[in-house]
Amino acid sequence: MRKFWNTALSLFKYDWRFRFSFIAILFLILFSVLSTFSPYDSRASYYAPINHPPSLKFLFGTNGRGQDLFWLMTFALKNSLIFSLEVALISRIIAIIIGITAGYKRGFLDQILIVLCDSFIVLPLLPILIFLKLIMKGLDFSTLAIILSFFGWPWDARLIRSQVLSLRNRIFTFSAIFSGRSTLGMIFSEYLPHILPITFATTVNNMIWSLGFEVTLSILGLTPIDIPTMGTVTYWAIQQQAFVMGIWWWLMVPIVFLIILFISLYFMFVSLSDFIDPRTRLVAK
């Protein structure tokens, strides 16, 4: 844990990308926490003037459904962040289990797991999700998060496998095997600390991927549109032709938040990836 905090402090001090992303993400998290203090229910509507421009009373203005965009965005951002974290965490568990197992066991089991990874990689996810929406009575965000999790692990599982394969041939592995350490002991004591940096970096990347899918599916109307998310707020703005009607703030607010969120997550992913890469690793002075 101490090494983790030292690494974070080093990145914050010497890498402007990590510093920018950390501050931006912290701001977005604090903004989403404001939903706890909202005077309105997240699904309430027509409690404010319709299509009111930004003002001191309504900082982000109101939309065509009579909702205060400031408070609505606190709920939308919170729900989208929770959704992306659910997808990232569940898919990380699958990627770690399959990646470590394939890399450590090798042989026939490795071949089967790699074929499984490749099979999931080539599957067309968007048509599958549209089909599932058609055959299922309801596709709520929890169900959607679980479905996306089962498609978000293959690339990262292959990355973890390659890392474990390199660790498998190191001296400490042979020493642990000859000393009688069990397979689970090898995985949790020897290998897991080495793959945690990669896992954290891929978690950030997976959040970007899942957020992109959430926005895309919501704009297409394939998610519960009564629950505020970054995608559903944009969906209602498009449906009611906010830009054509001159209600620019209704469409601009979620887009600006999405841009900040995607850029900050991307910068954090790039910063962590460069730190993990021994050729570009930052060294604390």
pLDDT tens digits for the chain (285 residues)?
A: 565 567 777 778 888 888 999 999 999 999 999 999 999 999 999 999 999 999 999 999 999 999 999 999 999 999 999 999 999 999 999 998 888 888 888 788 888 988 999 888 888 888 888 888 888 766 788 889 999 999 989 988 998 888 888 887 777 776 776 776 666 667 767 777 778 888 888 899 999 999 999 999 999 888 888 899 999 999 999 999 898 889 999 999 999 999 999 999 999 988 888 877 655 554 444
Burial class (CB in 10 A: 0-12, 13-18, 19+), 262: middle
**Does residue 28 fall inside a structural domain?**
yes
**Does residue 281 fall inside a structural domain?**
no
Provide the residue range defining the domain that includes 266: 2-276
**CA dist., res. 195 & res. 199, Å (int):** 6
Give the bridge partners for 62, in sequence order: 68
**Does residue 14 fall inside a structural domain?**
yes
Q: How many structural domains comprise the chain?
A: 1
User: Tell me, what CATH number does 17's domain have?
Assistant: 1.10.3720.10
**Does residue 179 fall inside a structural domain?**
yes
**Does residue 36 fall inside a structural domain?**
yes
CB atoms near residue 125 (< 10 Å):
13
pLDDT value at residue 130: 84
Using alpha carbons, list the distances in angstroms from residue 117 to 39, 123, 151, 153. Answer: 47, 10, 9, 8
**Does residue 285 fall inside a structural domain?**
no
Go through 205-223 and write b for each residue having 16 or more CB atoms within 10 A of its CB, e for each that does not: bbbbbbbebbbebbbeebb
